[in-house]
Chains A and B, each alone.
Chain A
Amino acid sequence: MAYISKINRRQLRDQANAAKNRRELIAAQFSRRDLMKMGLLTSAGLLIPKRGLSVRAQDALSSFGQTGQCTSPATTPFVDLLPIMPVKQSVPSLNPAPTECPNTAAGESRTRCHQAFTQLPPQRLYQVVQQTANVTVSPDLPVQTMWGFDAIVPGPTYVSNYGVPILVRNVNSLPINNGGFGLPSVSTHLHNGHTPSESDGFPCDFFEIGHFYDQHYPNVLAGFASDHQPNGDINEALSTLWYHDHRVDFTSQNVYKGLAGFFLLFNQFDTGNESTGFHLPSFPDFDIPMMFADKCFDQAGLLAFDLFNLDGILGDKFLVNGKIQPVLHVSPRRYRFRWLNSGPSRFYQIFLTRLDSSTTNQFWQISNDGNLLPHPIQISSVKLGVAERADVIIDFAPFAGRTLYLENRLVQRNGRGPDCELSQRGQGNLLLQIVVDLPPVADNSVDPATNPTFYTLPDKTAQPRVTRTFNFELTQNGQWTINNQFMDCNTIRFTVQQNTVERWVLRNTQTDRPAWTHPIHIHFEEYQIFSGNNQFCFNEPPTSVNVSRKDVIRLNPNTQVTLFFRFRDFLGRYPMHCHNTIHEDHAMMLRWEIGTTGDLNQNP
């Protein structure tokens, strides 16, 4: 680590000191409440030691330092309950009625006709309004003026079914005054829907206050119009998606300000009912979406966004479903948690921690990026890069009467990417307190230990038509690029021929700067990894979790990955971009297209 300065070394030493002091205090069996009363523990769970914690206070002249760090006011953890977002309700009709081609006269900002409107007509209609949301994130902080879909943060959860196409009308009712950051101009992306281009939430399809945009989600399996007619390839089924603002150049601000929510997709196997199909825990009682976000609050306790950072930004407050360090009460049985790292720049490695025991608690990962794996995989932690999702099954039966925590133990000191080290158990970021104190209830869900089969992986032996290589770099003069070019809405960098297979090589080989980990997201179809390391740190072997369908890849320093892609069913424009949204908003993105004919550009 040639770039660790003397100050950083001192900070590291102080951090180690702080951790040591805290371990001593815990060993002396002071309760958290005791320590807080004595002023020795901040509510974030950080110890104020003899010489230590205020590691951060040393460079806390302003809310933001050059590392993208911040120092928020103290908050009391584990008071508020984990919010469960309401299920979005459909409406009988929309006025004006949705049209195949843009209803510009009525104020619609869409620029292209729906591709599959007559073939897969919407059976359910929704209207969602982006507007001001007054949000309480902690009992210790003032009410925050954020932006939310339907005025809540996170937005409502869409519950959809394969075979039931829907249409969502987005209405922009955001205020002109943004309260310090955010642009009241939006484009809502369904990450990673198999969505026609005009409904994808392409970053350049943004629309302004007073306008609307109809998005048609066919909820159809990839391959339905090509190699798996008429219903598509069941092995391409998606389950946990999320939607978020994707306005070009302003995504980081707008998502940080609250414009994100979950979108769940069920089918005849993943039914949401534990008595049927794959017998996964029933939604919503035992199937809980959890959106992780790290944020920063200024000295007045108000949400703050570092506008002028180019590297990546970190918060020191950890929110789950919009609350700082909430509590969840559960019954002693199996639950499905759907974890999402909503960014903007932090990477997580989440453990199930007991503070009163040093056992390693195992649980099951059943999906990667929201796509069910062939089989559950037993694990003791889940790694989540920005925008990645993981569905897990945790059995709380052995923990009746206990308190557990979701703990992020991955150390990250700046917005560039994670450091290759784990904090000690109990010394990381406690994200959520889970109290197993609800009465026992029947559990008809499948025991992952019986090794149930979900889907098999789609074949990837087809011969790629072209291999394209992409370098993700900062220029000599500090500008983010892909293949040394910048995002420009008007530039189509390459065109893929529909219904062909391609091999993409993504490279992060920059050596003249401190290392970045770029979480690269590609819209439209899930890919599979041919080769390359998708782990956080350099020398970890790939795990079986890597053998899956993905839509975000963690591009570690000094690595390259090779991906296998299909491009079926729809035509039009899509982006590829870094999902460290700070990089994304500073041009680390490109526009590519799917056409009836494609090019063979190997370095587009």
Chain B
Amino acid sequence: MIDRRNLMAVVGMAPFAGWTSARAFTEDSKPNAAPKTSREVLRDRYFPNVVLTTHEGKKVRFYDDLLKDKIVVLNFMYASCEGVCPVITANLMTVQKLLGERVGRDIFIYSITVRPEEDSPKVLKEYARMHGIGPGWLILTGEPKDVELLRAKLGFVDPNPEVDRDKARHSGVIRFGNEPLQRWGACPGQSAPDWIVASIKSVDWPKSEQAKRAG
């Protein structure tokens, strides 16, 4: 039993203040720090600026080079995947065709390998060549820990840890987002390509802006 007298002892024993979220709240809002914009909040919460390597061997930063100011389409895959990947890659090929010249201009497609240990830029380049992947669509690899971080942050995870470890059962979801407008959605990668395109267009620029952005 705790009574009034030894309650104070309890208070003295534990570092309560550091545990409360109220404290974190005050720490976060230092008087001099400008409050973060919602865009910065999303960036800091979800988009680590890790360095990845493209199938063309170029080093790129995830947020600065790949997401910032763009409409993006994201999925995870690996080169030797024979499960859902062929269908999803084929769907993305059609999506790329349907989106036409906008791919590489204001819309970018990024496929990130879940097997960075095997999928070197060279392997991915071969994959890109084999599938006829065009400009504006990058196949990406990186340090395994960075790839895992991205996968977790972007929610390409399975609730069953065993399934999550099984690369052949990696998520078949496609995420799409408009980074500056903070519009993010997702659809199954095995959906019909025209529905994937319709879904991506739900995060498109406002009509007035489309012409300017898409050129």
B129-137, B138-146, B186-194: which lies at the A interface?
A: B186-194
Partner of A60, one of B7, B21, B183: B21
Is the CB of A176 closer than 8 A to any CB of chain B?
yes
On whether the beta carbons of B184 and A72 are closer than 8 Å, the reply is no
Per-residue interface assignment for chain B, residues 13 to 31, with 1 indicating a CB less than 8 Å from any chain A CB and 0 otherwise: 1101101111011001100
Is the CB of B84 closer than 8 A to any CB of chain A?
yes
Contact residues in B for A62 (Cβ distance below 8 Å): 45
Contact residues in A for B70 (Cβ distance below 8 Å): none
Complex Cα–Cα for A40 and B16 (A): 8
On whether the beta carbons of A513 and B190 are closer than 8 Å, the reply is no
Partner of B206, one of A48, A176, A481: A176
Contact residues in B for A480 (Cβ distance below 8 Å): 188
On whether the beta carbons of B19 and A66 are closer than 8 Å, the reply is no
Is the CB of B198 closer than 8 A to any CB of chain A?
yes
B95-103, B105-113, B115-123, B148-156: which lies at the A interface?
A: B148-156
Which of A57, A299, A585 has the most chain B CB atoms closer than 10 A to its own CB? A299
Q: Do most interface residues of chain B lie in helix, strand or loop, or is the interface mixed?
A: mixed
Is the CB of A63 closer than 8 A to any CB of chain B?
yes
* Given A28-B7, A178-B183, A209-B206; A478-B158 close (CB under 8 Å): yes
Name A310's closest neighbour in chain B (CB-CB): B155
Q: Do most interface residues of chain A lie in helix, strand or loop, or is the interface mixed?
A: loop
Is the CB of B82 closer than 8 A to any CB of chain A?
no
B33-41, B52-60, B61-69: which lies at the A interface?
A: B33-41
Count residues of B near A (Cβ-Cβ below 8 Å): 65
* Given A476-B83, A478-B158; A183-B203 close (CB under 8 Å): yes
Name B186's closest neighbour in chain A (CB-CB): A586
Is the CB of A512 closer than 8 A to any CB of chain B?
yes
Contact residues in A for B183 (Cβ distance below 8 Å): 178, 183
Complex Cα–Cα for A72 and B28 (A): 13
Contact residues in A for B14 (Cβ distance below 8 Å): 50-51
Name A73's closest neighbour in chain B (CB-CB): B25
* Given A176-B206, A308-B154; A64-B45 close (CB under 8 Å): yes
Name B192's closest neighbour in chain A (CB-CB): A488
Complex Cα–Cα for A481 and B28 (A): 41
Q: What's the A-B contact tally at a CB cutoff of 8 Å?
A: 178
A270 → chain B closest CB, angstroms: 40
Complex Cα–Cα for A309 and B17 (A): 30
On whether the beta carbons of A486 and B190 are closer than 8 Å, the reply is yes
Interface hits, B1-18 → A, CB 8 Å = 1-4, 7, 10-11, 13-14, 16-17
Contact residues in A for B29 (Cβ distance below 8 Å): 300
Interface hits, A540-593 → B, CB 8 Å = 585-587
Which of B24, B155, B160 has the most chain A CB atoms closer than 10 A to its own CB? B155
Contact residues in A for B188 (Cβ distance below 8 Å): 475, 479-481, 486, 586-587
B41 → chain A closest CB, angstroms: 6
Contact residues in B for A488 (Cβ distance below 8 Å): 191-192, 195
On whether the beta carbons of A48 and B161 are closer than 8 Å, the reply is no
A508 → chain B closest CB, angstroms: 15
Count residues of A near B (Cβ-Cβ below 8 Å): 68
On whether the beta carbons of B198 and A489 are closer than 8 Å, the reply is yes
Is the CB of B202 closer than 8 A to any CB of chain A?
yes
B160 → chain A closest CB, angstroms: 5
Is the CB of A379 closer than 8 A to any CB of chain B?
no
On whether the beta carbons of A311 and B159 are closer than 8 Å, the reply is yes
Complex Cα–Cα for A412 and B104 (A): 44
Contact residues in A for B152 (Cβ distance below 8 Å): 66
* Given A28-B2, A478-B173; A299-B181 close (CB under 8 Å): no
B114 → chain A closest CB, angstroms: 11
Is the CB of A74 closer than 8 A to any CB of chain B?
yes
Contact residues in B for A514 (Cβ distance below 8 Å): 159-160
On whether the beta carbons of B202 and A250 are closer than 8 Å, the reply is yes
On whether the beta carbons of B19 and A54 are closer than 8 Å, the reply is yes
A324 → chain B closest CB, angstroms: 14
Is the CB of B157 closer than 8 A to any CB of chain A?
yes
On whether the beta carbons of B28 and A299 are closer than 8 Å, the reply is yes
Complex Cα–Cα for A47 and B117 (A): 46
On whether the beta carbons of A177 and B181 are closer than 8 Å, the reply is yes
Contact residues in B for A179 (Cβ distance below 8 Å): 38, 182
On whether the beta carbons of A181 and B173 are closer than 8 Å, the reply is no
Name A53's closest neighbour in chain B (CB-CB): B19
A484 → chain B closest CB, angstroms: 10
Is the CB of B125 closer than 8 A to any CB of chain A?
no
On whether the beta carbons of A74 and B17 are closer than 8 Å, the reply is no
Contact residues in A for B195 (Cβ distance below 8 Å): 488-490
Is the CB of B86 closer than 8 A to any CB of chain A?
no
Complex Cα–Cα for A476 and B85 (A): 13
Contact residues in B for A491 (Cβ distance below 8 Å): 192
* Given A53-B19, A71-B21; A300-B191 close (CB under 8 Å): no
Complex Cα–Cα for A42 and B19 (A): 11
Name A180's closest neighbour in chain B (CB-CB): B38
Between A and B, 6 residue pairs with Cβ closer than 8 Å are: A73-B24, A176-B206, A249-B186, A478-B163, A479-B173, A512-B163
Interface residues of B (CB under 8 A from A): 1-4, 7, 10-11, 13-14, 16-17, 19-22, 24-25, 28-29, 35-36, 38-39, 41-42, 45-46, 83-84, 152-161, 163, 169-173, 175, 181-192, 194-195, 198-199, 202-203, 206
Sample of 20 more A-B contacts, CB < 8 Å, known A302-B41, A478-B171, A486-B188 = A28-B7, A30-B7, A42-B20, A42-B21, A66-B152, A71-B21, A73-B24, A181-B184, A183-B202, A209-B206, A250-B185, A299-B21, A302-B38, A310-B171, A477-B172, A479-B189, A479-B190, A486-B191, A489-B198, A490-B195
